[in-house]
Structure 1
């Protein structure tokens, strides 16, 4: 990995805590199988959550702050936090990886800003898209960057090419056909660009995070997604949607995906849901 200060963040104590929270005895080897194991373990253990932007704060990307929040306080994070942590773990495990800034295409009719952080990992002659911070229905295991359909642990995915943008596109097969998730290229990404993208995602009027509660994680093989007061539960065989009735019910959802939220934080989140701010025109 090239020159990013945030990638050297894991102390020995942090690394031990990281492995313990993921249920790993040690980091896996730098192989395709090891990468799949690491990504799947993090996605299954560390929830996605955009609570800070929803409450009006920009998450800190300082290594010590990410470690304290996620590893020691039992919280989650969104892509800039989760994938920075994932990158540090890959560094410690010996993977050859570089960051990628991606355009989210899910539910977006036109390509927008590069607002999502992911990873391109080179293993031998192959390149893999590795991602532990996508709040949508991303792959639970890495996807090789090549044409053709690929089976992941939670569905069928493929890579296509947008020649106009010069970007690869990650797509997922749904009952309604192929759904575009996001696109990315192989350009170098600096610390400054990640800091800027984090600020934009947390504060921009056109960003989804300041105006909506977004939380996601896994309860075993069940993927749980929260969008404001809407709860989605997806298994390999079924999809269900429910309304979240009150703060206690939201807290139970957090418990299912391993997201620790102190009572005062849960109360502030629920008050914000009950008193939404208007999205600027």
Structure 2
């Protein structure tokens, strides 16, 4: 389990733009999750370039805090979990089955957190590249509205799991499901390796970038860019490495010109958009 040193916590709070660690309360948890999602973009650049992300504390601190990169769920939520512990929260990990746009539940390929507070448990997540809630959700039945939409937690009795769903234009859409089983470091390491290398995983063959530019959420699948902001939804296609560099700049993602060139060369082998 990744734990922060005092210097790590200071670097983390600086990256998030928070003047101090929030209290271990429901409001403090919401503050921490919202700030993390706004400051550290989701990206799978390492798997896309053929590398398995290093989840060691030293590697995560360097990549996400010192080098100001982003990461995917195992990196993001490992860092977030260290922050939860440093701020005094009691939490446990959840390995989740992704269900979004699937006819049946997928493998346990997503990492999230269950945070125990005095008034109940919250689902907290800073690493889902799709349209997950930007605020923690109560582990309770019923619709819950947050800044980026309406969500609910239902039950899949056949698998004995909670299912996170989001209300869309065509009704409720499942995102992922989870149970209360204990998750070990070894299970996270194994899931990380599978997600980064398995031929049926989306991450080795496609570039996924997501994050916030002010009030606008940016989402990239290979070269297809979606911007969802106060003025509505806008879609476009990146046409050059300069477009990719501009996107990274908007997200505060420090990729550098050499890495950007390698990513763009790899994108020539990938489809423009998902099927």
Q: TM-score, normalised by structure 1?
A: 0.94
Q: Which deviations, in whole Å up to 9, do the C-alpha atoms of 1:37-69 show, x marking residues without a partner?
A: 000000000000000000000000000000000
Output the CA distance in 1 between the equivalents of 2:121 and 2:103.
28
Output the CA distance in 1 between the equivalents of 2:132 and 2:91.
19
Contact 2:74/2:192 (<8 A) preserved: yes
For the aligned residue pairs, the C-alpha RMSD in angstroms reads 1.1
The residue that corresponds to 1:253 in the other structure is 247
Gaps of at least 5 residues in structure 1 are: none
Q: Please, which of 98, 104, 121 is the counterpart of residue 127 of structure 1?
A: 121
The residue that corresponds to 2:130 in the other structure is 136
Output the CA distance in 1 between the equivalents of 2:169 and 2:180.
31
Following TM superposition, the consecutive aligned residue runs of length 4 or more in structure 1 with deviations greater than 4 angstroms are none
The residue that corresponds to 1:96 in the other structure is 90
Q: Answer yes or no: is 1:39 the counterpart of 2:33.
A: yes
**What does residue range 192-207 of structure 1 map to in structure 2 within 5 Å?**
192-207=186-201
Q: Please, which of 60, 76, 80 is the counterpart of residue 70 of structure 2?
A: 76
Cα offset for 1:21? 1.0
In the superposition, relative to structure 1, how do residues 24 and 140 fare at CA in structure 2: closer, same or farther (>3 Å)? same
Output the CA distance in 2 between the equivalents of 1:236 and 1:146.
30
Output the CA distance in 2 between the equivalents of 1:81 and 1:148.
30
Q: Please, which of 9, 34, 51 is the counterpart of residue 57 of structure 1?
A: 51
The residue that corresponds to 1:112 in the other structure is 106
Contact 2:211/2:219 (<8 A) preserved: yes
Cα offset for 1:249? 0.3
Cα offset for 1:237? 5.8
Contact 2:222/2:270 (<8 A) preserved: no
Output the CA distance in 1 between the equivalents of 2:54 and 2:183.
18
Q: Which deviations, in whole Å up to 9, do the C-alpha atoms of 1:169-197 show, x marking residues without a partner?
A: 11111112111110001100000000000
Gaps of at least 5 residues in structure 2 are: none
Output the CA distance in 1 between the equivalents of 2:149 and 2:214.
15
**What does residue range 163-242 of structure 1 map to in structure 2 within 5 Å?**
163-235=157-229, 238-242=232-236
Q: Answer yes or no: is 1:48 the counterpart of 2:42.
A: yes
Cα offset for 1:241? 1.2
Output the CA distance in 2 between the equivalents of 1:179 and 1:193.
27
